[in-house]
Amino acid sequence: MATDRHRHRARFMPWGLALLLAACTGSEPVSQDTDAVVRTAGAFGTYRGLVYVPGSVSPDAPAPLVVVLHGANTTAEQQRAANLFDPLAARERFIVLYPDNETDGPVGEHLLQAWHFYDPAEMVRGVGDPQAIADLTQQVMAGWNVDPERVYVVGMSAGGWETSIMGATYPDLYAAIGIAEGGAYGIGLAGVGQPLGASLTPPQVLALAAYAAMGPYARIVPVIDFQGAQDPAATPASGANAVQQWLMTDNLAASGALDAPFPLTPTRTADVTPGNGRYPYHIDLYEDGDGCRVLEQVRIEQMQHFWPGGSSDPRLKGFTDPRAPSGAELSWGFFKRFRKSDTALPCVESR
């Protein structure tokens, strides 16, 4: 493992000046935002992660960490600029990590800058992309005051499929996961642009495989899924397959059965019509017997294969659809309900 961590764009106010300003204003010194880079290397290549620590995060209080995985043909920098997690992190006081592959190694080139979500060899713990992403996550946890109970991962497209792999291979690391325009654990290329993916690889089979990948770390993993109604790559069938796989995997972790205790159909649905040219959307809620949610699916009318919401900068129009609801806001609204050790019955949400 290589751990070349350095701050490449940190802005600090001189401490003496901060104290002087605090004395004049009667307020506490204000910390400045910090950007940093973490790195790791292995047989499958070298990886880096962009770290954003907002000045609103106190070094004395453990902060949540959100790990954001980019999609194919996208870099960490592009995903960061597009999804608008940084301003949300500053407001809500959490740290963000954007992993990326840095160079191709002797094994497993990252074609189209996509994670190896399609490679069965990298659907297990301790190998390739999952190992690298987990290592970068753990470096941030070691380098900053991160609350280990509140570490989350969310990914877009190829990063969404990879997020399913992270939830299955490192459930002891991530309290909850988010899948944006991706799919189920282990479905690989059968789930890309394939409306028949669920019949080719049924969710029951994938659920058992994900539960097996969890091994001794098996636990209930809460999931939020974003699905564009007109997505030609991660089709609505792909999103539905992911929802069923994760509900069944969580049932296996909770009871050893595929169909209980969590229902395989929504307990309720919230319909939202924002107006002003923005897409209507529907939030399907899946709740346990105590009314505590374990999974949400956000179904967005008219949206194709984009990160939902995000920046309206025309330079980023290939990555986001600002007419959709904010994926960052909805992800964080879901994530902050959960602490890792609380995701167990009788109520999955944080008590």
The residues spanned by each domain of the chain are 58-342
Phi-psi region of 131 (alpha: psi -120 to 50; beta: other; left: phi over 0): alpha
Mean pLDDT over each residue of the chain, to the nearest integer: 88
φ and ψ of 155, to 5 deg: -145, 155
pLDDT of residue 30: 54
For 257-293, the pLDDT digits (tens) are: 999 999 999 999 999 999 999 999 999 999 998 999 9
Q: How confident is the model at residue 17 (pLDDT cuts 50, 70, 90)?
A: very low
Give the pLDDT of residue 27.
41
Q: What is d(CA 201, CA 144) in angstroms, rounded to the nearest whole number?
A: 41
Distance between CA atoms of 325 and 302, rounded to whole angstroms? Answer: 12
* Percentage of the chain exceeding pLDDT 90: 77
Residue type (1 letter), 155: G
Task: Give the burial string for 265-297 (b: 16+ CB within 10 Å, else e).
Answer: ebeeeeeeeeeeebbebbbbebbbeeebbbbbb
If one counts every other C-beta atom within 10 angstroms of the C-beta of residue 317, the result is 13
Average pLDDT, stretch 3-8?
Answer: 38
Structure confidence at residue 144 (pLDDT)? 97
Query: Is residue 175 within 8 Å of 141, Cβ to Cβ?
Result: no
* pTM as predicted: 0.89
Work out the average pLDDT over 158-176.
97
Contact (Cβ atoms closer than 8 angstroms) between residue 252 and residue 211: yes
CA distance 313 to 345: 43
Q: Are 348 and 292 in contact (CB under 8 A)?
A: yes
Q: Where does the pLDDT of residue 143 fall: very low under 50, low under 70, confident under 90, or very high at 90 and above?
A: very high
Measured CA to CA in angstroms, residue 60 lies from 66, 147, 340 at distances of 19, 11, 21
Give the total residue count for the chain. Answer: 351
Q: What is the mean pLDDT of residues 154-177?
A: 97
Span 50-68, average pLDDT: 97
Round to the nearest angstrom and report the end-to-end CA distance of the chain. 37
Q: For residues 99 and 317, what is the distance between their CA atoms, to the nearest angstrom? A: 22
Class of domain 58-342: alpha beta
Minimum mean pLDDT range among 38-47, 77-86, 258-267, 301-310: 38-47
Q: Is the pLDDT at 180 greater than 70, yes or no?
A: yes
Strand, helix or coil for residue 317:
coil
Residues 177-198, mean pLDDT to the nearest whole number: 81
Among candidates 193, 226, 227, 228, which has minimal Cα distance to 303? 228
